[in-house]
């Protein structure tokens, strides 16, 4: 641990340090990763644009400037930003009530939504509000992602049948069935089979054929490109679009132009809450990804700089008519596996995509929609985190219930409802836990300086000295419970003349707790029982030092329980058996 | 502490134990207290009915059955329940949007509101939900009471001028001024002077004149009765009502009849939230009063039985056409000072009030409203808790800010807004505090078994062993901060081969914290650094026992830091100076 590279990104700390200290040794990795990632994200970006209810080229447009914007400020060396499934779903879910999907107004709202969330993220970054993400617990994040993924899966099923919306009865299925349905379904199932094979076995098979393991892994991640190519070839070769298989349709060549429409104040107000939600989710998802990538490379990330990077990325997306972006699991995975060393890889990806947009983009017009739907299905299905649910449930049922409630909330109440429900539940769970403090009467382990719970261990106690260890911060939600526990202990040990409160596990006492301790001590003082403290932590002592309670009602503050026992003992110790 | 009378109410525990084991020795105290309290609450009950926007006799009606209902189930031996200022204000504030004050519909809604909150409180009691009150911290309660008291004071000012509403400009004042205004103002100021004198000096003066101290105290609390009597005499003697001084007006003789109107389901729905709010406030206020009374007498109360008692009291109020009731500060103070031993005192009060209602009630018709307003002013002004604010602010600025925000919220946003704001702020404050954990690198105090912060003390450390004490529960809001602190420590001590996490102050680890510890340990394992634990608390160990983290990534769990040091030390200890 002489040098801790984890805390030093390549090139060192500071703005654009990776660029200012760029080393030639990093270049080949960045170039290869940039090209490979660009190829991999073409189908994905188009698919997520479809999921967001937007023309497919918008997905490509949203993959250019964001990569450069993130490179300017972001702190992760290997994360790739662009359209992702969850924010695409959120864009559709949040904007659908405001404009009809497919309309020009809807597209404009999507662009403004990206712009507003970009500005919001950037401002939060300037204010160093990265800590806000801490209020989302893992069960809430996991439940949210699982619930959103389930919604996404459901939304793609009609495309498998070449339909616009899902039939709800067998009669409707028959009625809506058209010549293209069978073809779409066949193509979809074949594509699904190939992608599932690619995801589970392809890398191992390639490796057994002699391909280098890392290369095999990257090739397997590029499998969707083959589906896209074959899909387009089949469509063109057999004229499938004429036979009713829905395809992308027209797709303009060339780079997007920079666009700017000034939104009205009213529109901004309407988009405020959606922008806040999408920003929160983008930020949490990106930070999670960036952290797991950084961990692989023993680097670190800075949440505040992530806010700035994501903010710039979203503003960049909006400027070229794209929609909301954030860090993506699979695209970042390809990027790091293909050898990305710095955000230069992202800049290379953007350049490659620009080249493709300027040249061969129109060929994607004949891409069947079912192929994009299958790409989404395979990308999103693993995000439904059943193993995580099982693990969380086993560790703590309350947290497992929070996870399930968040997922169910997202599916049944919508994105906002699910998040609010989850955050509320995790906060209540935390408070509830703190409201049930563990309070133990302790005695001395014979012949040692250690003190243990009288109910768990065979320990010595002094008849006149009641030593109570409070195993929780003392705050409003648990003051009554702690008071009750102390009174119960006083009843159990009726000879008490000295009450010793051991605060080794108390990291904070709030004013409600202080009031309780004051009233308790006053009552005991009137009954001739002295109150003493032991093992008060430094910060707690600093805060208590100036209070009436400590000055007038606490008789002694001992550095350790051992010293307190030696000082306060008046009779020979009495051994008690382990109580229960 | 051989017998702990605090935990034993007179007569022992259990339903109506005070009655089943009633002792003759208690009777005289209960009789005197019952009569004195009855006299004292006559003006107060009428005043609070006025505050609630109801005919004054409703205040008297609401003082009969509630006292008997509370005696049946309540656990406090000396609390007196009836109309109080804050719930009267809440009744007016919550019902004003639903019906015009003074109408028959408004009165009916007030009765139903009492009924619903009574049923709600009783059901919560059956469900043993008394712990709910714990979610209101002292700053929130104090801020709420102060804000509500300020609202009450403002509401009474027009009565001082004999007006219906407060003039907002000098021109309005001139315009609204009528012959009775000057008389009302003069009478009000005189009454105010007398009541202020009674509250601050009268008891001491009476005592210096030879009156027994306790009796002097009770007499001083009865001062309002003199104001009421003189006010009525002056009104009748000088025919002040004819000259424009607003008076109570007609007041029927006789007991209220039992009333029952079945509310419609829609009305019940409309009253649900108001009933929940008034129940919460009644409960919290009553429990606070009951606890402080119990403390004086070394008794205890049971929050769940308080819920049952308050529920019955409110149902009783509704049955005789009264409005919401709860435990009152001043009436309970008189009750206990006058010698109440058991709830029999309350039953006596109810009987005396009934007698008054059946006989001399109509004489109160000539009572000037300004007298009732002054009674309210003097009762409520001391509830604005400036000393509490100062104390809270000095102890913790964040809690002081919560108090002020709650009070301001009540005044500016209304009752509900203020409570929601306060509870929200106190929860966020608590989370925020937990999100900034104290993490210390510790070393051994030379020659002892104690371990202290290397930054505060001169201690010995082992070069290969980094001992980190985490002084906070590990949960979602602080996992990133703890991870960062540990990495920082690893950077500061680059020779580390063993990381010892001391969990003596960790009372809980949630699943987000567990994930962080798992990832951290995995990363360190790959770098050849072993992770060990020390001083894990029993309940935490129970929960961790079954996790992959503990089984595969934690090398040792030591019972004490001392044993861990002895086991893991490989070189001679190195003394380090106190760092900063």
Residue in chain B nearest A487 by alpha carbon: B7
Q: 3-state DSSP call for residue B48? A: helix
User: For residues B569 and A458, which has the higher predicted lDDT (pLDDT)?
Assistant: A458
Which chain A positions have a beta carbon within 8 Å of B437's beta carbon?
A: 507
pLDDT digit string, tens, across residues A146-187 = 998 898 888 888 888 888 777 788 888 888 888 888 889 999
CA-to-CA dists, residue A267 to A272, A537, B363, angstroms: 9, 52, 65
Please give the Cα distance from A255 to A207 (Å, whole number): 38
Which chain B positions have a beta carbon within 8 Å of A547's beta carbon?
A: 395
- Check: CB of residue B417 under 8 Å from CB of residue B154: no
Of A473, A494, A504, the CB nearest to B4: A494
Which chain A positions have a beta carbon within 8 Å of B399's beta carbon?
A: 510-511
- Check: CB of residue A302 under 8 Å from CB of residue A283: no
Please give the Cα distance from A536 to A501 (Å, whole number): 9
Least confident of A280-289, A473-482, B294-303, B388-397: B294-303
pLDDT digit string, tens, across residues A541-554 = 999 998 999 999 99
Q: Which ipTM score applies to this complex? A: 0.80
- What pLDDT does residue A12 have? 67
Of B395, B449, B543, the CB nearest to A514: B395
Which chain B positions have a beta carbon within 8 Å of A437's beta carbon?
A: 507
Please give the Cα distance from A31 to A50 (Å, whole number): 29
Query: Is pLDDT above 50 for B166?
Result: yes
User: For residues B297 and B419, which has the higher predicted lDDT (pLDDT)?
Assistant: B419
Query: Is pLDDT above 60 for A329?
Result: yes
Options 3.40.50.10710, 3.30.360.10, 3.30.750.24, 3.40.50.2300; CATH of A439-577 = 3.30.750.24
Which positions ≥6 away from A329 have C-beta within 8 Å? A84, A289, A383
Mutate to test the interface with B, among A135, A143, A430 (most CBs of B within 10 A): A430
Structure tokens at A547: 């209070």
Query: Is pLDDT above 60 for B578?
Result: no
Structure tokens at B93: 């504030």
Query: Rounded to a whole number, what is the distance in Å from the CA of A556 to chain B's nearest CA?
Result: 19
Secondary structure element (H or E) that encloses residue A430, with its range: helix A415-434
Please give the Cα distance from A457 to A183 (Å, whole number): 73
Of A134, A295, A529, the CB nearest to B480: A134
Of B427, B546, B560, the CB nearest to A450: B560
CB contact under 8 A, B491 and A435: no
- What pLDDT does residue B553 have? 93
In the A/B pair of chains, how many CB contacts fall below 8 A? 185
Of A1, A395, A476, the CB nearest to B511: A395
When pLDDT is averaged across residues B236-259 and rounded to a whole number, the result is 84
Query: Rounded to a whole number, what is the distance in Å from the CA of B269 to chain A's nearest CA?
Result: 22
Which chain B positions have a beta carbon within 8 Å of A430's beta carbon?
A: 431, 434, 475-477, 510
- What pLDDT does residue B105 have? 92
When pLDDT is averaged across residues B392-412 and rounded to a whole number, the result is 93
Query: Is pLDDT above 90 for B401?
Result: yes
When pLDDT is averaged across residues B4-21 and rounded to a whole number, the result is 67
Least confident of B35-49, B289-303, B459-473: B289-303
User: For residues B403 and A255, which has the higher predicted lDDT (pLDDT)?
Assistant: B403
Please give the Cα distance from B396 to B378 (Å, whole number): 30
- What pLDDT does residue B390 have? 93
- Check: CB of residue B554 under 8 Å from CB of residue B514: no
Please give the Cα distance from B453 to B433 (Å, whole number): 20
- Check: CB of residue B374 under 8 Å from CB of residue B197: no
CB contact under 8 A, A494 and B560: no
> DSSP label at A503?
-
Which chain A positions have a beta carbon within 8 Å of B485's beta carbon?
A: none
Q: How confident is the model at residue B1 (pLDDT cuts 50, 70, 90)?
A: very low
- What pLDDT does residue A4 have? 43
Q: By percentage, how much of chain A surpasses pLDDT 90? A: 43
Number of other residues whose CB lies within 10 A of the CB of residue A351: 16
- What pLDDT does residue B2 have? 35
Backbone angles phi, psi at B320, to 5 degrees: -105, 25
CB contact under 8 A, B505 and A507: yes
Of B479, B519, B527, the CB nearest to A1: B527
Domain edges within chain B: 24-428, 439-577
Which pTM was predicted? 0.77
Query: Rounded to a whole number, what is the distance in Å from the CA of A506 to chain B's nearest CA?
Result: 7
CA-to-CA dists, residue B133 to A277, B141, B307, B348, angstroms: 32, 10, 11, 30
Of A3, A431, A538, the CB nearest to B456: A538
Please give the Cα distance from A35 to A38 (Å, whole number): 5
DSSP per-residue letters across A134-164: GGS-HHHHHHHHHHHHHHHHHHHHHHHTT-S
- How far out from the chain centre does Cα B380 lie? 15
Which chain A positions have a beta carbon within 8 Å of B295's beta carbon?
A: 519, 523
Query: Is pLDDT above 50 for B362?
Result: yes
Closest CA to A520 of A546, A493, A490, A543: A490
Closest CA to A434 of A513, A500, A489, A520: A513
Residue in chain B nearest A474 by alpha carbon: B430
Please list the alpha-helical segments (H only) found in A414-549.
415-434, 479-492, 511-526, 538-544, 548
Please give the Cα distance from B56 to B65 (Å, whole number): 17
Of A391, A477, A547, the CB nearest to B134: A477
Please give the Cα distance from A476 to A509 (Å, whole number): 9
Please give the Cα distance from A303 to B549 (Å, whole number): 26
User: For residues A404 and B331, which has the higher predicted lDDT (pLDDT)?
Assistant: A404
When pLDDT is averaged across residues B33-54 and rounded to a whole number, the result is 90
When pLDDT is averaged across residues B551-565 and rounded to a whole number, the result is 92
- Check: CB of residue A344 under 8 Å from CB of residue A28: no
Closest CA to A43 of A318, A285, A231: A231
Of A131, A392, A449, the CB nearest to B511: A392
Residue in chain B nearest A431 by alpha carbon: B427
Of B138, B437, B456, the CB nearest to A511: B138
Residue in chain A nearest B539 by alpha carbon: A438
pLDDT digit string, tens, across residues B118-158 = 999 999 999 988 877 777 888 998 998 899 889 888 888 88
State the SS3 of A236-303.
HHHCHHHHCCCECCCCCCCCCCCCCCCCCHHHHHHHHHHHHHHHHHHHHHHHHHHHHHHHHCCCCCCH
CB contact under 8 A, B392 and A295: no
Query: Rounded to a whole number, what is the distance in Å from the CA of A106 to chain B's nearest CA?
Result: 36
pLDDT digit string, tens, across residues B190-238 = 999 999 998 889 889 998 998 888 788 888 878 888 888 999 999 999 8
Q: Which residue has the tokens 């100036």?
A: A546
Query: Is pLDDT above 90 for A375?
Result: no
Please give the Cα distance from A335 to A79 (Å, whole number): 7
Alpha-carbon torsion, ordered A314, A320, A324, A326, to 10 deg? -50
Which chain B positions have a beta carbon within 8 Å of A504's beta carbon?
A: 504-505
Query: Rounded to a whole number, what is the distance in Å from the CA of B131 to chain A's nearest CA?
Result: 9
Which chain A positions have a beta carbon within 8 Å of B395's beta carbon?
A: 511, 514, 543, 546-547
Least confident of A117-126, A373-382, A557-566, B535-544: A373-382
Of B476, B491, B514, the CB nearest to A4: B491
Query: Rounded to a whole number, what is the distance in Å from the CA of A487 to chain B's nearest CA?
Result: 8
- How far out from the chain centre does Cα A483 lie? 39
Length of chain B in terms of residues written: 580
CB contact under 8 A, B496 and A1: yes
- How far out from the chain centre does Cα A44 lie? 21
Closest CA to B307 of B8, B62, B75: B75
CB contact under 8 A, B1 and A527: yes
Backbone angles phi, psi at B39, to 5 degrees: -65, -40
Which chain B positions have a beta carbon within 8 Å of A456's beta carbon?
A: 538
Q: By percentage, how much of chain B surpasses pLDDT 70? A: 96
When pLDDT is averaged across residues B300-314 and rounded to a whole number, the result is 91
CB contact under 8 A, A477 and B295: no
Query: Is pLDDT above 80 for A13?
Result: no
The contacts found for B484-491 with CB under 8 angstroms, 24 or more apart, are B485/B437, B485/B439, B486/B439, B486/B520, B487/A4, B487/A6, B487/A7, B487/A300, B489/B439, B489/B441, B490/A1, B490/A4, B490/B466, B490/B524, B490/B529, B491/A1, B491/A4, B491/A7
pLDDT digit string, tens, across residues B253-297 = 888 877 778 888 888 889 999 999 999 989 988 988 888 788 777
Query: Rounded to a whole number, what is the distance in Å from the CA of B556 to chain A's nearest CA?
Result: 20
Please give the Cα distance from B190 to B196 (Å, whole number): 10
Which chain A positions have a beta carbon within 8 Å of B507's beta carbon?
A: 437-438, 471-472, 505
Q: Which residue has the tokens 């806000």?
A: A132
Secondary structure element (H or E) that encloses residue A552, with its range: none
Q: By percentage, how much of chain A surpasses pLDDT 70? A: 96
Averaged pLDDT score across all residues of chain A: 88
Structure tokens at B24: 């003759």
Residue in chain B nearest A527 by alpha carbon: B1
Closest CA to B387 of B409, B403, B410, B376: B403
Q: Which residue has the tokens 């950077």?
A: B491
CA-to-CA dists, residue A108 to A183, A278, B302, angstroms: 34, 17, 61
CB contact under 8 A, A527 and B298: yes
Please list the alpha-helical segments (H only) found in B320-439.
329-337, 344-358, 369-380, 386-395, 397-413, 415-434
Query: Is pLDDT above 90 for A215?
Result: no
Closest CA to A515 of B141, B334, B574, B263: B141
């Amino acid at each position: 641990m002489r040098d801790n590279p984890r805390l030093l990104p390549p090139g060192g700390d500071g703005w654009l340090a990776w660029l200012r200290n760029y080393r030639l040794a990093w270049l080949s990795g960045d170039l290869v990763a940039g090209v490979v990632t660009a190829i991999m994200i073409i189908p994905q970006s188009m698919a997520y644009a479809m999921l967001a209810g937007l023309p497919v080229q918008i997905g490509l447009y949203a993959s250019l400037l964001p990569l450069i914007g993130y490179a300017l400020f972001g702190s992760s060396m290997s994360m790739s930003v662009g359209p992702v499934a969850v924010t695409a779903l959120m864009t559709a879910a949040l904007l659908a009530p405001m404009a009809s999907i497919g309309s020009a107004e809807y597209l404009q709202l999507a662009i403004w939504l990206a712009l507003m969330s970009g500005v919001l993220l950037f401002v939060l970054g300037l204010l160093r509000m990265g800590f806000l993400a801490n209020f989302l617990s893992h069960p809430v994040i996991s439940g949210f992602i699982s619930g959103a993924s389930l919604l996404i899966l459901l939304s793609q099923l009609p495309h498998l049948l070449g339909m616009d919306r899902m039939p709800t009865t067998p009669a409707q299925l028959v009625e809506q069935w058209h010549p293209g349905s069978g073809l779409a379904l066949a193509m979809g199932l074949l594509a699904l089979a190939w992608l599932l094979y690619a995801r589970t076995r392809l890398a191992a098979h390639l490796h057994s054929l002699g391909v280098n393991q890392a290369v095999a892994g990257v090739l397997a991640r590029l499998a969707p490109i083959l589906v896209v190519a074959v899909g387009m070839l089949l469509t063109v070769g057999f004229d499938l679009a004429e036979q009713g298989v829905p395809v992308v349709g027209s797709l303009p060549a060339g780079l997007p132009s920079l666009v700017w429409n000034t939104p009205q104040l009213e529109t901004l107000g309407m988009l405020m809450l959606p922008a806040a939600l999408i920003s929160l989710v983008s930020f949490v998802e990106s930070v999670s990804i960036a952290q797991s990538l950084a961990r692989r490379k023993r680097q670190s990330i800075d949440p505040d700089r992530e806010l700035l990077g994501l903010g710039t990325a979203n503003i960049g997306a909006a400027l070229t008519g794209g929609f909301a972006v954030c860090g993506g699991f699979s695209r970042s995975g390809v990027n790091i596996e293909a050898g990305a060393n710095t955000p230069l890889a992202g800049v290379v990806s953007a350049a490659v995509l620009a080249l493709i947009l300027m040249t061969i983009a129109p060929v994607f017009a004949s891409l069947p929609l079912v192929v994009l739907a299958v790409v989404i299905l395979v990308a999103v299905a693993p995000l439904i985190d059943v193993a995580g649910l099982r693990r969380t449930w086993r560790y703590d049922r309350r947290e497992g219930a929070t996870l399930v409630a968040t997922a169910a909330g997202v599916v049944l109440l919508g994105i906002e409802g699910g998040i609010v429900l989850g955050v509320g539940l995790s906060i209540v769970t935390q408070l509830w836990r703190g409201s049930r403090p563990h309070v133990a009467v302790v005695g001395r382990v014979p012949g040692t300086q250690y003190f243990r719970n009288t109910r768990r261990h065979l320990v010595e106690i002094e008849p006149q000295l009641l030593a109570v260890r409070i195993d929780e911060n003392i705050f409003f939600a648990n003051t009554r419970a702690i008071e009750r526990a102390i009174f119960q202990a006083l009843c159990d040990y009726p000879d008490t003349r000295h009450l010793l409160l051991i605060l080794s596990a108390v990291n904070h006492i709030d004013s409600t707790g202080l009031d309780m301790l004051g009233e308790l001590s006053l009552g005991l003082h009137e009954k001739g029982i002295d109150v003493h403290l032991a093992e008060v932590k430094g910060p707690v002592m600093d805060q208590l030092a100036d209070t009436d309670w400590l000055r007038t009602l606490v008789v002694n503050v001992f550095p350790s329980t051992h010293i307190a026992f030696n000082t306060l003992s008046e009779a020979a110790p009495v051994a008690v058996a382990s109580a229960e």
